[in-house]
């Protein structure tokens, strides 16, 4: 199905599952090369990154741990700019290499907040792995180390990303149709 309806919006297929999985596998292989002896702690940012993290971690083969935090900043189609922490971090990151696993870096406001909190908690090395990046929407000076795919500044759903809570279960990415 190439066009779908979620609530009041129509979306059309823009990135098929096969391309997604190939791009995610490449990120996993880069991480294996870079972090082989670093015993990294992966921090998956819920809800959106659950599917990316699941597939990514199937390729990551270095000794590592994975944990989860939960944040929320979106309200429908637009970022509210206010990032709420709903589930915090339980593990110590002192002296540790951490990899933040995100669904998308859009304005970068969420990531900036996560990075400053991890720095304050004493992480020695912080890397960012994001499934998607919208380079044209970036408003913060943050370093993103691993990007599976770069996309235009349009609203998308699928592969973990939602419109008002729906669409996270789609295995492909769909873009909103104006």
Residues serving a catalytic function are 106
Q: Looking at beta carbons only, is 5 or 37 nearer to ligand IMP?
A: 5
Answer for which of 103, 106, 147, 167 binds Mg ion (CB under 5 A) is 103
Nearer to ligand IMP, 24 or 105 (CB): 105
Query: Which of the choices Mg ion, ligand IMP, none does residue 107 contact, using the CB cut-off of 5 to 8 A by kind?
Result: ligand IMP
Kindly calculate the radius of gyration of the chain based on its CA atoms and give it in whole angstroms: 16
CA 157 to chain centre: 13
Q: How far apart are CB 83 and ligand IMP at their closest, in Å?
A: 7
Residue in 168, 165, 59 with CA at minimum distance from that of residue 103? 168
Residues that bind ligand IMP (CB under 6 A): 48, 73-74, 79, 102-111, 155-157, 161-162
Q: How many residues bind Mg ion (CB under 5 A)?
A: 2
Residue position matching structure tokens 């098929």: 16
Nearer to Mg ion, 28 or 48 (CB): 48
Contact 27, 148 (CB under 8 A): yes
- Residue 121 falls in which region: left (phi positive, over 0), alpha (psi -120 to 50) or beta: alpha
Q: Which of Mg ion, ligand IMP, none does residue 74 bind (CB under 5 to 8 Å by kind)?
A: ligand IMP
Residue 172 near which of ligand IMP, Mg ion, none (CB within 5-8 Å, type-dependent): none
From 46-54, 80-88, 143-151, 170-178, span contacting Mg ion (CB under 5 A): 46-54
Can you list the positions of beta strands (E) in 16-168? 41-46, 65-75, 78-87, 97-105, 125-133, 146-150, 156-157
Q: Which of 166, 66, 148, 138 is nearest to 103 (CA)?
A: 148
Identify the residue among 48, 108, 158, 167 touching Mg ion (CB under 5 A): 48
Are 167 and 10 in contact by the 8 Å Cβ rule? The answer is: no
**Window contacting Mg ion (CB under 5 A); options: 27-35, 41-49, 85-93, 119-127:** 41-49
What are the residues binding Mg ion (CB under 5 A)?
A: 48, 103
């Amino acid at each position: 199905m190439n066009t779908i309806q979620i609530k009041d919006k129509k979306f059309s297929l823009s990135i098929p599952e096969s391309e997604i999985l190939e791009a995610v596998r490449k990120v996993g292989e880069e991480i294996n090369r870079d972090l082989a002896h670093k015993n990294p702690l992966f921090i998956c940012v819920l809800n959106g990154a659950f599917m990316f993290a699941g597939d990514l971690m199937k390729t990551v083969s270095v000794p590592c741990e994975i944990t989860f935090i939960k944040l929320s900043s979106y309200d429908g189609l637009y970022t509210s700019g206010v990032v709420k922490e709903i589930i915090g971090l339980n593990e110590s990151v002192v002296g540790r290499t951490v990899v933040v696993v995100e669904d998308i870096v859009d304005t970068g406001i969420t990531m900036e907040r996560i990075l400053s909190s991890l720095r304050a908690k004493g992480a020695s090395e912080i890397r960012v792995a994001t499934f998607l990046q919208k380079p044209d929407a970036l408003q913060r000076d943050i370093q993103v180390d691993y990007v599976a795919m770069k996309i235009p500044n349009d609203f998308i759903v699928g592969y973990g990303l939602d419109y008002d809570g729906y669409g996270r279960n789609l295995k492909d990415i769909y873009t909103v149709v104006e």
